[in-house]
Structure 1
Amino acid sequence: MTDQNGQTRQAGRTCMRTLGIAAVTAAALTATVTPSVAAPAPAQAPRAAATAVTEAAAADVDYDTWQRDCRAVMDTALPYLKERIADSAPGEKQAIVLDIDNTSLETDFGFSYPQPANRPVLEAAQYAQEHGVALFFVTARPGIIEAPTEWNLAHAGYESSGLRVRGFLDLFKGVAEYKTEQRAEIESRGYTIIANIGNSTTDLSGGHAEKTFKLPDYGGQLS
């Protein structure tokens, strides 16, 4: 379990990342809606600020090392998924639950919108979705950025069967509690969650998944 200080640090990073996503999204939407505006400098300022925040969060983690370590985890996950999907019971509705930040999408290695897919995870997810497995995304991101997050996932190549973001009341719950409740609700709809993939213990604790796969967070450096 993450200790109280660790949860505070994680909450702070989540807040700053959310502000960064919202700022860059707003800038992108403004540029799209009003293409005749001549001076682009104001729209670039939020991007620069967000870049500084997110790059600082990952300052001690090398991108190539992170990708290699993600690949090692998913090289274990993919054979399991292939076997489990092939062994599905007649009529079984299989699902995979995925975290978003530094799991499904690259978040802390430079900032852009749309954020690129984390390739090792995307490859496994695409295999699953091509074989009829539903992909559910459960994130600690707040509902205010639900629409741009949903678009980003589709743009990155994921076919989402459902995106779960935190509503107002969810903000008063621990992340692990909130995510556990979301998986339980997915199960209540008749799905068997064959895998739960995330990079934090709060993504994976609480059960309601046959198997969990933890990507690296390097002691909380990647939220």
Structure 2
Amino acid sequence: MHRTAWTTRAVVTLAAAATALIAVPTASQAAPRTVEVQSAVTSGAITAPKGVDYTAWLHDVGSVVDVARPYLKQRLAASPAGEKPAIVLDIDNTSLETDFHHFWTFPTPAIQSMRDMVREANAEGAAVFFVTARPGIIESPTSYNLKAVGYPVTGLYVRDLDDLFENVSTYKTEKRAEIEARGYTIVANFGNNTTDLVGGHAERTFKLPDYGGKLS
């Protein structure tokens, strides 16, 4: 997600409540073939503030899930004895419907196709980590939200004071490295912004649509 708007949105939410696939390569991979998502104009009442069509967005997210799900199933089935496979996810508009008509809703609903895929991967042996640029002050409600809408949560990384003003991609790369240092193999990393995905420390990366920055 884009982070400049997050702190303000988080404060408001707490006060109220209390791309087709773009595959980003790891360092060892060649530059990816990029497929652009054709953004639909607003056509209904359920829309993001910047006019992204809600139904079209869910369809585009589903297109990413349709590629990631069989990959995860095959990769986890082939996991060697003793391996600790894991997946890493961003939260806003990757795991939760943050920017859409649920802005004033707490807990924020899950993106159902993502949640279902994550639950399947967890049942097949994958640990599930969330790495977000949300500040540490809202770690507890964030953890509650994820669990309340059905996500398994092995670990949640939020930005503490030392991380708060660090470059987002650097911070997220460091946290994935920490997960690896705990003995996990990150088999997939999901996000809707390149800052969620660059820096390596994942076998495969999957980018959900943000329509050129229209979604946080």
- Answer yes or no: same fold by TM over 0.5: yes
2:118 is the alignment partner of 1:125: yes
C-alpha RMSD of matched pairs (Å): 1.5
Confirm or deny that 1:220 pairs with 2:216.
Answer: no
AA of the residue aligned to 2:87: I
Structure 2 distance, partners of 1:72, 1:12, is: 28
Specify the alignment match of 2:196 in structure 1: 203
- Give 1:57 deviation, angstroms: 5.7
CA shift digits 1:98-144 (9 cap, x unpaired): 00000111100021110000011111101011112100000000011
Taking the aligned partners of 2:47 and 2:65, their CA distance within structure 1 comes to: 26
Given the alignment of the two structures, is residue 18 of structure 1 paired with residue 10 of structure 2, yes or no?
yes
Q: Whole-Å Cα distance in 1 between the matches of residues 150 and 171 of structure 2?
A: 26
- The normalised TM-score by structure 1 is 0.81
Deviation at 1:78, TM superposition (A): 0.1
Q: 1:91 aligns with which of 82, 94, 102?
A: 82
Alignment of 1:3-14 (within 5 A): 10-14=2-6
Aligned to 1:160, what secondary structure does the other structure show? Answer: coil
**TM-score where L is the length of structure 2:** 0.83
Q: What do the CA deviations read for 1:161-187 (whole angstroms, capped 9, x no partner)?
A: 000000001012011000000000000
Amino acid at match of 1:22: L
SS of aligned partner of 1:165: strand
Q: Which residue of 2 aligns with 1:79?
A: 70
Secondary structure (helix, strand or coil) at the match of 1:135 reads: strand
3-state SS in 2 of match to 1:170 = coil
Point out where structure 2 has 5 or more consecutive residues left out of the alignment. 19-45
Cα distance in 1 between the residues matched to 2:58 and 2:48? 16
Task: Note if contact 2:47-2:53 (Cα within 8 Å) is conserved in structure 1.
Answer: no
1:154 aligned to which of 147, 153, 168: 147
**Residue 113 of structure 2 aligns to which amino acid in structure 1?**
P
Map 1:28-177; keep pairs closer than 5 Å.
58-110=49-101, 111=103, 112-177=105-170
Number of residue equivalences:
187
Could you say if the C-alpha distance between residues 14 and 57 of structure 1 is closer, same or farther in structure 2, counting changes exceeding 3 Å? farther
1:183 aligns with 2:173: no
3-state SS of paired residue (2:163) = helix
Question: Which residue does the alignment assign to 1:40?
Answer: none
Long gaps (5+) in structure 1: 1-6, 27-54
Q: Is the 8 A contact 1:25 1:148 kept in 2?
A: no
Structure with the larger helix share: 1
Q: Structure 1 CA distance, aligned partners of 2:123 and 2:100? A: 29
Q: Alignment identity in percent?
A: 57
Whether the aligned pair in 2 keeps the contact of 1:13 and 1:57 (CA below 8 Å) is no
Distance 1:113 1:18 in 2: 11
SS at match of 1:171: coil
Instruction: Describe the superposition over 1:9-41 as per-residue Cα deviations: whole angstroms up to 9, x where unpaired.
Output: x33321222112221232xxxxxxxxxxxxxxx
